[in-house]
């Protein structure tokens, strides 16, 4: 019997510690370096923690879980100071923290900031986590645990941190039937059928993960909204989630379908200037706040891609946003009105339409309205220039919308580390107030002195056991939250932090995997849309290449609309000789992008129709450079595969094999992208693929014939 029990116990232990990715970056495994573990144990021997609120209790639980795991022994809580190594966490209500922070400007940390300090009190060395509010203490606690997970020196801490962005949200495009639009990691994690009575542990772990990176809001429903989310039956379910998230500093938001007064309210109109419609929304706001006292507000997609909006009634976006803002204002709620609008009836370049619709309304929105703008002017492409609205509406707070789910970047089978995309946009110079007025300055409110600011990330989260489908897709969720808190963080730091918390602290592991991650986004741009090509993905599902497609019901859903390849060249002319979209930028930006000689080659085909024989800085002509880029993208993926194989000794077998299989899929699909695009564009250039490159193993007709009626995320 003894011989049977032992293997069973060993199997149970193995399953208990299975590395399936569920724990994300909050693994808290025992520190392998025994000397470091002992050092930390001496510095963090006792914990004196306030526990007077649900949020402080959450911080205390996290500290207990984290320290017990990392230090491999139960944490000891105390009510008094001991002679060695005490952590004290709490607000200024705590006398010890008052004394420790007496010389600091705590007011400057605001409602969410915190400090982590090393202080001497007699012979005792204290580690202080202090804040003005319980939320700040929670954020500081997670920061301290991050320092331990990444094995930093904590003997002389003097950290002060506060968020640069006020509203830091995940936007879930989850539908009430459990599907997720543009979701590639399974179904929705919200089980509406079991709510409000059943609170899945996953909801709590979701809140923990978000709080650990500073995310303070979640939009539960798809921007292609369903009015039923606003009914009493569903508001009870939403309230149950809000109650679960509240201790972690997270507010819930909902998408508001503009036609809800008609669809669930029994009215004959949703005209925002109709007094009955206004009264309906005011009552609806009261109802929501009766269920959820700290409800965050509404996100609205209106008059875009078939969604109803104020223009259905001859009104403008400000009319619609202000009606909802007035309903929410008595309760402190905000409206996030999306600027992703374009009309098939408008012959203008799709690039220009949001700017044309919104800039005349600058200054006419209520003070609790944010206009939510995608990072680029088309639609979450692998690379886009910054949206011209940034810097063009100084009297209106503009919030950023990034996409974490990889709708146009290979879904959840491609390893793509997105902070380089985020930073590329945030660091772009708008010249709105002269040189060095970045997009980040606009979004944070610094440039125009707005107190209201926001950033949204379209979530890549689903029911897959590892949350995001691809183990490395977790890094984009992590990095987005960290950047929303502090957009000055570098891609290198974010990658390093995530690797150390997710896989381990081995130097060789961190350096090599970091190189993979930092190279991955440029690789995807190269094998999908190099030199400024854009929106050449498959129609509807956006899976794989289809630059030849021209059968969509509207012109700007066709890839041929965007690349405009012909016998003379390729690219979309957005200069004065073309659509003149460049006129929407400040003169300095126009000048740089408008001249072929000064336009960055990364954006060349965004703004210019370039002859096939045009010479680029490399000395290669345009066709040769396209070939070089497409082939180099594939080569980078193959190097990533090689690097990953070298990491086998440092990675658990489960995640190693999973990533190995996904990289093989990525390599296969990168080759597909390269071959299909070059064979198609070759029909216009009439030039050969240069010698020395591996030749396509299928014909163009083969690639054109591929069909994907059940591609995910549609």
pLDDT digits (tens, 9 = 90+) for 613-631: 999 999 999 999 999 999 9
Please report the pLDDT score of residue 550 as a whole number: 97
pLDDT at 475: 99
CB under 8 Å to 16, separation ≥6 — which residues? none
Mean pLDDT across the stretch 644-661? 98
pLDDT bin (cut points 50, 70, 90) of residue 8 is: very low
pLDDT at 345 over 90: no
pLDDT digits (tens, 9 = 90+) for 160-192: 999 999 999 999 999 999 999 999 999 999 999
The one catalytic residue in 104, 294, 305, 362 is 305
Residue 344 is predicted with a pLDDT of 62
pLDDT beyond 60 at 14 = no
Range 587-591, long-range pairs (CB < 8 A, 24+ positions) = 587/431, 588/429, 588/431, 588/435, 589/429, 589/430, 589/431
> Which is catalytic among the residues 112, 357, 407, 497?
407
Q: What is the pLDDT of residue 5?
A: 41
Q: Is 625 a catalytic residue?
A: no
Residue 305 annotated to the active site: yes
Active-site residue, 424 included: no
pLDDT value at residue 644: 98
Residue 97 pLDDT class (50, 70, 90 cuts): very high
For 254, phi and psi rounded to 5 degrees?
A: -130, 155
**Is the model's pTM score more than 0.95?**
yes
Identify the pLDDT of residue 17: 55
Sequence-distant (≥ 6) Cβ neighbours of residue 644 within 8 angstroms:
513, 516, 656, 659, 660, 663
The number of CA neighbours under 13 Å toward the Cβ of 89 is: 32
Mean predicted confidence (pLDDT) in 489-495: 98
Percent of the chain residues topping a pLDDT of 90: 93
The Cβ of residue 690 has, within 10 Å, a number of other Cβ atoms equal to: 12
Mean pLDDT value of segment 9-21: 56
Contacts 24+ apart (CB under 8 A), 559-563: 559/535, 561/350, 561/535, 562/378, 562/533, 562/534, 562/535, 562/536, 563/533, 563/534, 563/536, 563/605
Q: Does position 547 have pLDDT exceeding 50, yes or no?
A: yes
Confidence (pLDDT) at 80: 84
Question: Do you find a cis peptide bond into 196, omega within 30 degrees of 0?
Answer: yes
pLDDT score of 82 more than 90: no
Q: Looking at 181, 326, 379, 635, which residue is catalytic?
A: 379
| Interval 424-456: pLDDT, tens | 999 999 999 999 999 999 999 999 999 999 999
Cβ neighbours for 295, distance < 8 A, ≥ 6 positions apart: 242, 251, 252, 253, 254, 288, 289, 331, 333
Task: Please report the pLDDT score of residue 122 as a whole number.
Answer: 82
| Averaged pLDDT, 476-489 | 98
* Count of beta carbons in the 10 Å neighbourhood of residue 378: 21
Give me the residue label for tokens 């789910």: 405
The predicted pLDDT at position 121 comes to 85
Mean pLDDT of the chain: 95
**Is 50 exceeded by the pLDDT of residue 15?**
no
Residue range 639-644: mean pLDDT, rounded: 98
**Stated length of the chain:** 714
Q: Which two tokens stand for residue 60?
A: 């205390």
For residue 12, is pLDDT > 70?
Answer: no
Q: How confident is the model at residue 421 (pLDDT cuts 50, 70, 90)?
A: very high
Look at residue 219 and give its three-state secondary structure: strand
- Tokens in use for 59? 């911080």
pLDDT digits (tens, 9 = 90+) for 370-391: 999 999 999 999 999 999 999 9
Which pLDDT tens digit goes with each residue over 100-113? 999 999 999 999 99
How much of the chain, in percent, has pLDDT values that exceed 70? 97
Q: Which residue has the tokens 């985020």?
A: 422
Confidence band for 502, pLDDT divided at 50, 70 and 90 = very high
């Amino acid at each position: 019997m003894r011989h049977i029990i032992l293997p069973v116990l060993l199997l149970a232990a193995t399953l208990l510690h299975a590395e399936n990715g569920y724990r994300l970056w909050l693994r808290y495994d025992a520190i392998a370096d025994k000397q470091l573990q002992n050092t930390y144990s001496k510095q963090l021997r006792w914990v004196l923690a306030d526990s007077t609120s649900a949020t402080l209790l959450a911080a205390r639980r996290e500290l207990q879980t984290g320290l017990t795991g990392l230090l491999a022994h139960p944490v000891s809580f105390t009510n008094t100071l001991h002679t060695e190594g005490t952590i004290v966490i709490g607000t200024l209500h705590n006398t010890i923290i008052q004394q420790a922070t007496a010389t600091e400007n705590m007011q400057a940390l605001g409602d969410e900031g915190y400090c982590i300090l090393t202080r001497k009190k007699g012979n005792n060395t204290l580690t202080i986590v202090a804040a003005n509010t319980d939320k700040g203490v929670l954020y500081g606690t997670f920061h301290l645990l991050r320092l331990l997970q990444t094995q930093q020196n904590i003997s002389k801490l003097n950290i002060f941190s506060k968020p640069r962005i006020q509203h830091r949200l995940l936007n879930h495009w989850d539908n009430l039937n459990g599907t997720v639009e543009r979701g590639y990691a399974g179904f929705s994690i919200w089980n509406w059928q079991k709510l409000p009575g059943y609170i899945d542990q996953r909801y709590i772990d979701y809140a923990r993960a978000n709080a650990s990176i500073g995310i303070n809001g979640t939009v539960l429903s798809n921007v292609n909204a369903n009015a039923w989310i606003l009914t009493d039956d569903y508001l009870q379910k939403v309230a149950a989630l809000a109650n679960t998230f509240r201790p972690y500093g997270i507010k819930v938001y909902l998408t508001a379908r503009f036609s809800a007064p008609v669809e669930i309210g029994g009215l004959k109109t949703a005209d925002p200037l109709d007094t009955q419609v206004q009264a309906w929304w005011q009552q609806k706001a009261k109802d929501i706040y009766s269920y959820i006292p700290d409800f965050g507000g509404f996100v609205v997609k209106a008059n875009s891609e078939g969604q109803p909006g104020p223009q259905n009634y001859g009104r403008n976006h400000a009319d619609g946003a202000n009606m909802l803002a007035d309903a929410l204002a008595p309760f402190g709620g905000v409206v996030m009105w999306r600027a992703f609008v374009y009309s098939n009836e408008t012959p203008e370049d799709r690039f220009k339409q949001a700017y044309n619709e919104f800039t005349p309304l600058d200054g006419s929105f209520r003070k609790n309205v944010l206009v939510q703008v995608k990072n680029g002017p088309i639609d979450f492409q692998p690379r886009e220039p910054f949206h011209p609205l940034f810097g063009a509406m100084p009297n209106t707070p503009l919030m950023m919308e990034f996409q974490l789910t990889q709708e146009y970047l290979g879904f959840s089978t491609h390893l793509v580390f997105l902070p380089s995309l985020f930073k590329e946009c945030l660091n772009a110079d708008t010249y709105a107030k002269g040189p060095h007025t970045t997009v980040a300055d606009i979004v944070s409110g610094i440039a125009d002195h707005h107190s209201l600011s926001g950033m949204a990330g379209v979530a890549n989260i689903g029911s897959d056991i590892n949350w995001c489908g691809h183990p490395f897709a977790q890094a984009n969720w992590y990095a987005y939250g960290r950047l929303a808190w502090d957009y000055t963080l570098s891609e290198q730091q974010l990658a390093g932090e995530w690797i150390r918390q997710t896989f381990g602290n081995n130097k060789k592991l961190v350096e090599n995997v970091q190189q993979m991650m930092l190279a991955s986004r440029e690789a995807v741009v190269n094998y999908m849309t190099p030199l400024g090509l854009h929106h050449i993905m498959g129609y509807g599902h956006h899976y794989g290449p289809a630059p030849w497609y021209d059968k969509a019901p509207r012109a700007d859903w066709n890839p041929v609309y965007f690349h405009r390849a012909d016998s003379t060249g390729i690219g979309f002319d957005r200069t004065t000789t073309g659509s003149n979209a460049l006129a929407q930028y400040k003169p300095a930006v126009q000048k740089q992008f408008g001249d072929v000689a000064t336009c960055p080659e990364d954006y060349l085909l965004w703004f210019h129709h370039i002859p096939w024989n045009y010479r680029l800085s490399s000395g290669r002509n345009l066709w040769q450079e396209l070939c070089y880029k497409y082939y180099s993208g594939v080569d980078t993926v193959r190097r990533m595969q090689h690097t990953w194989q070298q990491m086998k000794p440092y990675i658990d077998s489960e995640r190693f094999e999973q990533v190995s299989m996904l990289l093989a899929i990525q390599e296969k699909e990168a080759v597909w992208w390269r071959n299909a695009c070059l064979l198609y564009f070759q029909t216009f250039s009439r030039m050969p693929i240069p010698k020395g490159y591996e030749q396509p193993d299928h014909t163009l007709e083969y690639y054109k014939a591929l069909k994907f009626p059940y591609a995910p995320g549609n």
